[in-house]
């Protein structure tokens, strides 16, 4: 295994001692530190075990959608392991992690998903967000589906210019012509389901959008894990720096589509409050 190491100074020892992931950790604090320092190793480990499991059960395909799926679940395993493992000290984190993943895979539904996402509304939200892992058109149109933002507003909140802005219009156009329809075809959702959702939205808009907000947050957190490099929420100061110094365009486009809290930070920083543009709140659009 890779030699990810941690220096600790336990008890009355004067010299720092080095603990590796495959050695015994004695306290919850040591566990947290050694795991935090070994995330890439654990990520690889979880990823290869998930891939192996999916291959064995005939659920693996060599494509981006499956790679992203693997990344999301690896990330969820690590999150759960951080909570589980600190209760199991003293332990050897590396071996405990293997046992933890193996146990998840031996359950009848190892990748069981939140039951709320199985309703027609949940299926639609989940389907739209899942598509973002493989389609930039879907990603950009999330700003419209979740908040009702139009291309010009998306460009403003992301702070884009020139050819980057042109691409946003194309993303909207292609999604309206075919992307949305194609995404819907892969979902277990009927035309009657869509009509029922539209009627509910008209009848009780506030209640409808507050349920959407809850589901969107749940799904956003899950699908953000498709891109570990862009998962982390930057601080307000880091966002300001990104906009002021004009860098991190990919980070902005990807993260802000999948993080409501950061989107509001960007909106406020770009000072987009005008009589014609309110601060975005959830305003779910069922059709493009
Ligand atoms: Zn964020």
Q: Residue 217's closest CA among 171, 153, 151, 264?
A: 264
Residue 21, pLDDT score: 86
Q: Give percent above pLDDT 70 in the chain.
A: 92
102 CA from centroid of ligand 1 (Å):
31
Q: Report CA dihedral (176, 182, 187, 190) to the nearest 10 degrees.
A: 70
Q: pLDDT band at residue 6, thresholds of 50, 70 and 90?
A: very low
Interval between CA 129 and ligand 1 midpoint (Å): 15
Whole-number pLDDT of residue 112 = 66
Q: What is the mean pLDDT of residues 123-145?
A: 96
- Asked which of 83-87, 149-153, 249-253, 274-278 is least confident by mean pLDDT, the reply is 274-278
Instruction: Using pLDDT thresholds of 50, 70 and 90, give the confidence band for residue 151.
Output: very high
3-state secondary structure the chain: CCCCEEEECCCCCCCCEEEECCCCECCHHHHHHHHHCCHHHHHHHHHHHHHHHHHHCCCCCCCHHHHHHHHHHHHHHHHHHHHHHCCCCCECHHHHHHHHHHHHHHCCCCCCCCHHHHCHHHHHHHHHHHHCCCCHHHHHHHHHHHHCCCHHHHHHHHCCCHHHHHHHHHHHHHHHHHHHHHHHHCCCCCHHHHHHHHHHHHHCHHHHHHHHHHHHHHHHHHHHCCCHHHCCCCCHHHHHHHHHCCCCHHHHHHHHHCCHHHHHHHHHHCCCCECCECCCCCCCCCCC
128 alpha carbon – ligand 1 mean position (Å): 19
User: Does residue 16 carry a pLDDT above 80?
Assistant: no
State the pLDDT at residue 273: 67
Q: How far is the CA of 260 from the centre of ligand 1 (A)?
A: 7
Q: How far is the CA of 58 from the centre of ligand 1 (A)?
A: 35
Average pLDDT, the chain: 89
For ligand 1, the distance from its centroid to the CA atom of residue 205, given in whole angstroms, is 26
User: Mind listing the pLDDT tens digit for each residue in 159-207?
Assistant: 998 899 999 999 999 999 999 999 999 898 999 999 999 999 999 999 9
How many A from CA of 157 to the centre of ligand 1?
A: 14
* Cα–ligand 1 centroid distance for 93 (angstroms): 29
pLDDT in tens, 205-225: 999 999 999 999 999 999 999
Q: What is the pLDDT of residue 118?
A: 86
Q: What is the pLDDT of residues 37-49, one digit of tens each?
A: 999 999 999 999 9
* pLDDT at 147 > cutoff 70: yes
**Separation of CA 202 and ligand 1 centre (Å):** 30
CA 270 – ligand 1 centroid, Å: 16
Its pTM stands at 0.85
pLDDT category, 9, cuts 50, 70, 90? very low
CA of 235 to the centre of ligand 1 (A): 9
266 CA distance to ligand 1 middle (Å): 10
Which residues lie at CB < 5 A from ion ligand 1? Answer: 233, 259, 262
């Amino acid at each position: 295994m890779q030699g990810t190491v941690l220096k600790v100074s336990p008890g009355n020892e004067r010299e720092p001692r080095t603990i590796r992931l495959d050695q015994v950790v004695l306290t919850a604090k040591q566990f947290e530190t050694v795991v935090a320092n070994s995330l890439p190793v654990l990520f690889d480990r979880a990823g290869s075990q998930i891939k192996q499991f999916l291959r064995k059960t005939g659920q693996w395909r060599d494509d981006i959608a499956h790679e992203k799926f693997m990344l999301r679940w690896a990330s969820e395993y690590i999150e759960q392991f951080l909570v589980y493992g600190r209760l199991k000290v003293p332990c050897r984190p590396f071996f405990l992690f293997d046992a933890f993943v193996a146990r998840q895979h031996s359950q009848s539904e190892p990748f069981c998903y939140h039951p709320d996402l199985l309703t027609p509304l949940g299926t639609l939200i989940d389907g739209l967000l899942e598509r973002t892992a493989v389609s930039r058109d879907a990603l950009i149109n999330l700003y419209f589906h979740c908040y009702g933002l139009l291309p010009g507003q998306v460009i403003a909140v992301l702070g884009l210019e020139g050819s980057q802005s042109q691409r946003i219009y194309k993303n909207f156009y292609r999604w309206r012509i075919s992307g949305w329809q194609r995404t819907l075809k892969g979902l277990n959702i009927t035309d009657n389901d869509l009509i029922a959702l539209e009627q509910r939205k008209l009848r009780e808009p506030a209640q409808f959008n507050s349920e959407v907000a809850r589901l969107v947050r749940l799904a956003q957190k899950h699908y953000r894990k498709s891109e570990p490099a862009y998962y982390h929420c930057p601080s307000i100061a880091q966002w300001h720096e990104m906009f002021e110094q004009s860098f991190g365009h990919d980070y902005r486009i990807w993260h802000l589509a999948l993080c409501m809290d950061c989107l509001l930070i960007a909106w406020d920083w770009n000072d987009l409050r005008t009589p014609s543009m309110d601060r975005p709140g959830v305003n779910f659009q069922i059709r493009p």
